[in-house]
Copies of this chain bind each other. A is one copy, B any other.
Amino acid sequence: ELLATIQRHFMKSAHREWHGVKLMVTAGPTREKIDPVRFFTNRSSGKMGYAIAEEAAARGADVTLISGPVSLPKPQGVTLVQVESAAEMFAAVADRFQQSDIVIKAAAVADYRPKHTYEQKIKKQDGDWSVEMERTSDILKTLGKKRTHQILVGFAAETENLESNAKQKVESKRVDIIAANSITAPGSGFQGDTNELTLYTKDGDVIHIPLTSKKEAAGKLLDTAMSVYRKSKA
């Protein structure tokens, strides 16, 4: 316990630049209900977002974690806000956007939801079923338009054309950094404890983070976010 306290102290001393920085992190999937039982969702464990939140809190940041349904313990020293749907995620993020300094959107928010949600469980019937879906709001794009002083970091999970999609996203969503991961690369992506990321900044920097633990990847992502944040204050 004493050792842990000392470690926390040194960790914070080594990262003084994070003290008091208001960081909002989103994590996990969202669930889009069809009825009380059935829903659409995404393959996301939430591990990357939780690793970022935990690492930033250890560095001394003031962290709020907005999380979809995951089975991970609450990271120490963060404020956890639990949401279920993309609409709830949007509301929770929008509420806290103005007072944030850095926002890292690691959640895999559903981009479609069923047009109709039924109060009662739909009884199955013979034959096919056509589920009408509509777009959810694009949270990152909305934040990109509303931003004043905030540093914005988004994620891109792609199975193909990773680089061009990521670079396009930096432009079209007006964000500072896109962290791109190939969800089909071995050891990378949604479920595991490791990740390989490439960061694309709005200044055209490309920073490759080779396959490593999500904790290490989180640290390097935070380093890059901090350097963009410092430049913006300079």
Contacts and interface: CB of A to CB of B under 8 A. Distances in A.
A111 interface: yes
A128 B124 contact: no
**Copies of this protein in the complex:** 2
A232 interface: no
Contact of A121 (B36, B37, B157): B157
A38 B127 CA distance: 23
A187 to B, nearest CB: 16
Contacts of A126: 135
A40 interface: yes
A174 to B, nearest CB: 18
Instruction: Say which size band chain A's interface belongs to.
Output: 20 to 34
A115 B128 contact: yes
Interface in A111-145: 111-112, 115, 120-121, 124, 126-135
A112 B133 contact: no
B124 A37 contact: no
Given A128-B132, A133-B128, A121 B40 contact: no
Contacts of A110: 38
A50 to B, nearest CB: 14
Contacts of A71: 71
Contacts of A108: 37
Interface string A31-55: 0000011111111000000000000
Given A36-B184, A42-B38, A159 B128 contact: no
27 contacts: A37-B108, A37-B157, A37-B159, A37-B183, A38-B40, A38-B41, A38-B43, A39-B40, A39-B43, A111-B124, A112-B124, A120-B160, A121-B157, A121-B158, A121-B159, A121-B160, A121-B183, A126-B135, A128-B132, A128-B133, A128-B134, A129-B132, A129-B133, A129-B134, A130-B131, A130-B133, A131-B133
Given A37-B43, A38-B40, A121-B158, 14 more contacts: A36-B159, A37-B108, A37-B157, A38-B41, A38-B110, A38-B112, A39-B42, A71-B71, A111-B124, A112-B129, A120-B159, A121-B157, A121-B159, A130-B133
